Amino acid sequence: MNALLQKVYFGLVGLFLSLPIIVVAGVSVNEKQTLAFPPQGFSLGWYGEIFTNSEWRSALFASITLAALSAAVALLIALPLAWFLWRRHAPWANIFQLLGIAPFTLPPVITALGLLTFWATTGFYGQPATAVISHAIFFVTLPLVTLSLGFSSIDRSLVEAAATMGADDRTIFRTVVLPLILPYLISGYAFAFVLSLNEYIVAYMTIGFTMETLPIKIFNALRYGYTPTMASVTILFVAIAATIFGLVARFGDLPKLLGAMSSRD
Amino acid sequence: MRREAPQKFSDYGPLFFPAGMLIVFFVVPFATMIAVSFFRRDPAGFYSPDFVFDNYARFLSLFFGKVLGFSLFLAVMVAICCVVLAVPFTYLLSRAKRKTQVLWLVALLSILSLSEVIIGFAWSTLFSRTAGITNLLVMLGIMNEAVALNPSFGAVLTAMVYQALPYTVLVLYPALVRLDPTLTEAARTLGASPMKSFFTVVVPALRNTIVATLIMVFIFALGSYLLPQILGRPQHWTLSVLITDQAIYQSNMPFAAAMAVFLVLVTLGLVALTVYAGRKGEAA
Amino acid sequence: MSGLTLQNIVKQFGTFTAVRNVELTVPHGTFVCLLGPSGCGKTTLMRMVAGLDLPTSGAIRLDGKDITNVPTHKRDLGMVFQSLALFPHLTVGENIAYSLRIRGIGKEAQKKRVDELLAMIHLAGYADRPVAKLSGGQRQRVAIARALAISPKLFLLDEPLSALDAKLREAMQVELRQLQQRLGITTIVVTHDQREAMTMADTVVVMNGGEIRQAAPPVEIYRRPADTFVADFIGMTNLIDFSADGTGASVLGASIPGLAIPAGLESGIISVRPEDVHLTAPGNAPISGTVTFVRDLGGTIETFVEAAGKQVVAVSMPNARPDVAVGQTVGLKLNPADCVVLKS
């Protein structure tokens, strides 16, 4: 009875969460250029459209490039910072931890506006590189949190053991710390990548008038002309996110990763 | 390994790049934004340097008061709906098999990472006349004719709950996983039915976590800027929408900046409250 | 009949059988200890008695009534968890009163009962303290009081003392036994500590691999173990192979006259407690061996002797201190009455 109640509750939440995706998936296979549901006819043509239509293709390319680069920069900021905070006793340096977490905690429009005023004032407004740096700053929180968690799970006596065997700091980092931290490095990158792929407002405020990322393209399509390609792109994005998080779960300990992620300790 | 304080200058090496990036691209922009909030609007370009309080003075209008009031009301509603839905759900999830948990976590993360644009599009489709949920009801014979359910307040609220629910579950998840399962077992041996043990043990034991979660979801919902635009009428627009609107379409950066600073202050106040609630939780 | 009866209880988790074919009767008012190494199924068995796990098959009866499918909260039992599971958001008094509150008992009656119980556990006046402010021993008592608040038919304790330090644990064992005798309540304790079981129980139930290996009073478990596992698990023992040919038995290359071997048993194992192994001069005993190690623990002295390629331990009291040194040859004397003959 109670188990049944639980199943029903899970089912309802699951339905609520999947309903929009089901409808969008239905819309994406319409035969004609209509947003009908249930779909009229069946065609995978709108998925092909993402790659054949030059506007959608370049938006996809821009989004993936932006996500890949900004996640890498975020990692470059987070890794030395998390390592330093773990390795050294320097309470004042925690301010940088706080700075790394702030952009993601504040309402996104604030970070976006801050960056917009900054790029406008310095005269770089509209250049593609500004979006990469902006996203890197906006999403640095994710690798920072996963890496801090990763470092805290390393037994410090391992470092001491390596030192007794003659390894210096740099060698220890390369041969002991890095291999142990790798899963956290990868999941931090994955989180930043997926979120950057989906991010709208920061991208819009920094390069919105010069380039189109996929979310910007979808939003513009929402305003200026619906097409089932929007639906097929949406489904593609859900699939990418599910695949990446599925891989993180497959090769890492997702419950553990999330167990500390939101508690911020 | 003993954590030593940095000795030599080179010990600070790893800090240079991260600190530089965060200062130049977060602290400086933030400061710029605060500065701009005191600047004067320049119709020709972005703005011209000045020190005026005009942008803040504009808050004192009925219109602004209404927008602020609605933003707060909407965020509170979203937070309450999400927490009410998520607490029992997350509790059951944290007690489920590991495989079930991982599956749900992947699904929740996937939805959490979805762009607001995509969520807005999906729900606008779901609420539309041509492809919406009402078509299903027509097919089932419950309704005579498909209707559009948006723009409306209900549509905005539903989509925002959809957006914030995965976040709520993921915020609650660590606390619920760490909740000692023998507490509810003990309650059951002492005569409490599963339902009663949930309300007399789980909920009170997590009181502080639940309060903190409410505040965090509230902040999260406050940041929503596209859903009210896509699914609501202009009277459903929030402060975030207004900031974007002023910055991009009205080209009034100083006013947008002033509103953003104000929003930061509200948010920081709430974060402080969360931390305070957390501290109290630890002390108890 | 009154008391608890377990009939052919089986519990499977997937393909793993945690508890197999357990039959056990616990008469009303007795104190039973479920004893065994970790993973032997003792906690699972107790959780099934509590209704926290359901048996795959079999029946549980309490006072003649089948309670196998009765949900936990309707079983009217009291349980102390290994983690204690005190509610962190409630005070000492509120914790103890929880089961009364759930049952809708009036505030006055609740308070009266709480005071009664606090007096019983020597914590009178602690009602309003938060549980976090208590010491380990005090929390232990509060958990016990909470479990006893409704005067349950069955009192279950899952490794209740494992979190306490050794001294406190010994004291609590005595206290718990005295409390149980005063209240006359049917009690089951899960433990892996044989000393704890011997101190408290009327009946010790030794489990291994999900099965009951022996259920008997403590002294019988010690003196007459049912098999080599029980003999080895309870206290220290020497397990020595023997062979028999119908006329007598040969142990460590010597025959022990008077050792009764069941007819037809050609070989097996005898269990001899170290205190029953007597050291003598080499010529005075049929078995002789070489001393390999002497451990003087103050209270007792353990002598390790290698005889016929096998290590045998003898324990002596200080007043009978054997005059032996490593490398010395000694004789070993075993009384037939002290040897328990077991199948190998």
**pLDDT score at C17:** 92
**pLDDT score at A231:** 85
C-alpha distances in Å from residue C206, one per residue of A101, C163, C218: 55, 22, 10
**pLDDT score at B278:** 65
How many residues would you count in chain A?
265
| C206, C50 contact by CB (below 8 A) | no
Interface touch A134/B105, C-beta < 8 Å: no
Upstream peptide bond of C37 is cis (omega within 30 degrees of 0): no
Interface touch C73/B200, C-beta < 8 Å: no
**What residue numbers bound the domain in which B229 lies?**
53-283
Residue B255 has pLDDT above 70, yes or no: yes
- Closest approach of chain A CAs to the CA of B266, in angstroms? 10
CA dihedral A205, A208, A214, A217 (to 10 degrees): 120
**pLDDT score at C216:** 95
Q: How confident is the model at residue C1 (pLDDT cuts 50, 70, 90)?
A: low
| C72, C53 contact by CB (below 8 A) | no
Q: How confident is the model at residue B280 (pLDDT cuts 50, 70, 90)?
A: low
Return the bridge partners of C4, or none. C26, C62
Q: Are strands C310-316 and C329-334 parallel, antiparallel or unpaired?
A: unpaired
- Closest approach of chain B CAs to the CA of C26, in angstroms? 20
Of residues A93, A115, A249, nearest to B15 (C-beta)? A93
- Give the chain B residue whose CA is nearest to the CA of C146: B190
Taking only the tens place, the pLDDT of each residue in A213-251 is 888 888 888 877 778 888 888 888 889 889 998 988 888
What's the order of all strands across the beta sheet hosting C254-255?
Answer: C254-255, C249-251, C238-244, C267-272, C340-342
Using an 8 Å CB-CB cutoff, list chain B residues near A112.
Answer: 244
**pLDDT score at C37:** 92
Taking only the tens place, the pLDDT of each residue in C40-91 is 999 999 999 999 999 999 999 999 899 999 989 989 899 999 989 999 889 9
Q: Are strands C310-316 and B47-48 parallel, antiparallel or unpaired?
A: unpaired
Average pLDDT over residues C322-338: 87
C-alpha distances in Å from residue B66, one per residue of B62, B119, B156, B238: 6, 26, 17, 10
Locate C185 and state its tokens.
Answer: 């309540």
Is any Cβ of chain C less than 8 angstroms from the Cβ of B100? Answer: no
Question: DSSP per residue over B59-113, as a string?
Answer: GGSHHHHHHHHHHHHHHHHHHHHHHHHHHHHHHHHHTS-HHHHHHHHHHHHHHHT
- Give the chain B residue whose CA is nearest to the CA of A87: B3
Q: Are strands C329-334 and C340-342 parallel, antiparallel or unpaired?
A: unpaired
* Residue predicted with more confidence, B134 or A95: A95
Average pLDDT over residues B129-137: 73
Residue B101 has pLDDT above 70, yes or no: yes
DSSP 8-state class, residue A173: I
Residue A264 has pLDDT above 60, yes or no: no
Residue A260 has pLDDT above 50, yes or no: no
Q: How many whole angstroms separate alpha carbon A233 and alpha carbon A150?
A: 34
Tokens 């800027």, residue located: B225
Interface touch B189/C52, C-beta < 8 Å: yes
Average pLDDT over residues B244-263: 84
Residue A4 has pLDDT above 90, yes or no: no
Q: How many whole angstroms separate alpha carbon C174 and alpha carbon C199?
A: 7
Of residues C50, C82, C99, nearest to B191 (C-beta)? C99
DSSP 8-state class, residue C247: S
Surface-to-core class of residue B281, CB atoms within 10 Å of its CB (0-12 exposed, 13-18 middle, 19+ buried): middle
Residue A87 has pLDDT above 50, yes or no: yes
Residue B96 has pLDDT above 50, yes or no: yes
**pLDDT score at C31:** 95
Q: How many whole angstroms separate alpha carbon C108 and alpha carbon B65?
A: 52
CA dihedral B166, B172, B178, B179 (to 10 degrees): -120
**pLDDT score at B128:** 80
Of residues B5, B22, B110, nearest to A100 (C-beta)? B22
Mean pLDDT of chain A: 84
**pLDDT score at C217:** 95
Is any Cβ of chain C less than 8 angstroms from the Cβ of B186? Answer: yes
- Percent of chain C whose predicted confidence (pLDDT) is above 90: 58
**pLDDT score at B29:** 87
| B138, B154 contact by CB (below 8 A) | no
Locate C7 and state its tokens.
Answer: 């009939």
The answer to whether ipTM exceeds 0.90 is: no
Domain CATH number, residue B210: 1.10.3720.10
Question: DSSP per residue over C184-231, as a string?
Answer: T-EEEEEES-HHHHHHH-SEEEEEETTEEEEEE-HHHHHHS-SSHHHH
Among B19, B25, B49, B44, residue whose Cα is nearest residue B257: B49
Highest mean pLDDT: which range of A32-41, A96-105, C213-222: C213-222
**pLDDT score at B284:** 44
Show me where the domains of chain A are located.
Answer: 49-261
CB under 8 Å to B46, separation ≥6 — which residues? A117, A120, A121, B251, B253
Average pLDDT over residues A16-41: 81
In a domain, B48, yes or no: no
Of residues B5, B115, B244, nearest to A90 (C-beta)? B5
Of residues C83, C132, C146, nearest to B182 (C-beta)? C83
Question: DSSP per residue over B194-224, as a string?
Answer: HHHHIIIIIHHHTHHHHHHHHHHHHHHHHT-
Among B5-14, B64-73, C2-11, C156-165, the minimum mean pLDDT is found in B5-14
Taking only the tens place, the pLDDT of each residue in C127-138 is 999 998 899 889
All partners of chain A with 3 or more CB pairs under 8 angstroms: B
Amino acid letter, B58: R
- Closest approach of chain B CAs to the CA of C217, in angstroms? 28
Interface touch B131/A258, C-beta < 8 Å: no
- Give the chain B residue whose CA is nearest to the CA of A86: B3
All partners of chain C with 3 or more CB pairs under 8 angstroms: B
CB under 8 Å to C126, separation ≥6 — which residues? C92, C93, C118, C134, C138, C142
Q: How confident is the model at residue C94 (pLDDT cuts 50, 70, 90)?
A: very high
Of residues B6, B36, B174, nearest to A259 (C-beta)? B174
CB under 8 Å to B135, separation ≥6 — which residues? A37, A38, B146
- Give the chain A residue whose CA is nearest to the CA of B134: A37
Mean pLDDT of chain C: 90
**pLDDT score at B74:** 92
Structural domain total, chain B: 1
**pLDDT score at C152:** 92
**pLDDT score at B2:** 66
- Closest approach of chain B CAs to the CA of A103, in angstroms? 8
Query: Which CATH fold topology does A49-261 show?
Result: MetI-like fold (1.10.3720)
The H helix count followed by the E strand count for chain C is 8, 20
Using an 8 Å CB-CB cutoff, list chain B residues near A59.
Answer: none
Q: How confident is the model at residue C149 (pLDDT cuts 50, 70, 90)?
A: very high
- H or E stretch covering C181: helix C166-183
**pLDDT score at C9:** 95
Of residues A120, A241, A245, nearest to B46 (C-beta)? A120
**pLDDT score at B235:** 81
Among A101, A185, A93, A94, residue whose Cα is nearest residue A139: A101
- Closest approach of chain B CAs to the CA of C52, in angstroms? 7
> CA end-to-end span of chain B, whole Å?
33
Question: DSSP per residue over B228-258, as a string?
Answer: HHHHS-GGG--HHHHHHIIIIIS--HHHHHH
* Residue predicted with more confidence, A254 or C174: C174
Interface touch B188/C156, C-beta < 8 Å: no
* Residue predicted with more confidence, B115 or A147: A147
Q: Between B and C, how many CB-CB pairs are < 8 A?
A: 75
Q: How confident is the model at residue B1 (pLDDT cuts 50, 70, 90)?
A: low
Interface touch B173/A118, C-beta < 8 Å: no
Q: Which domains does chain C have, with CATH numbers?
A: 3-230 (3.40.50.300), 237-342 (2.40.50.140)
Q: How many whole angstroms separate alpha carbon C162 and alpha carbon C197?
A: 13
SS3 C242: strand
Taking only the tens place, the pLDDT of each residue in A103-146 is 888 888 888 888 888 888 888 887 888 899 999 999 998 899 88
| A41, B145 contact by CB (below 8 A) | no
Average pLDDT over residues C287-309: 89
H-assigned helices in chain A = 2-28, 45-52, 54-87, 94-105, 108-122, 128-139, 141-152, 156-164, 169-172, 178-198, 201-207, 214-224, 228-251, 254-261
Locate A243 and state its tokens.
Answer: 């695949």
Among B31, C113, C315, residue whose Cα is nearest residue A121: B31
Interface touch C85/B182, C-beta < 8 Å: yes
In a domain, B94, yes or no: yes
**pLDDT score at C43:** 93
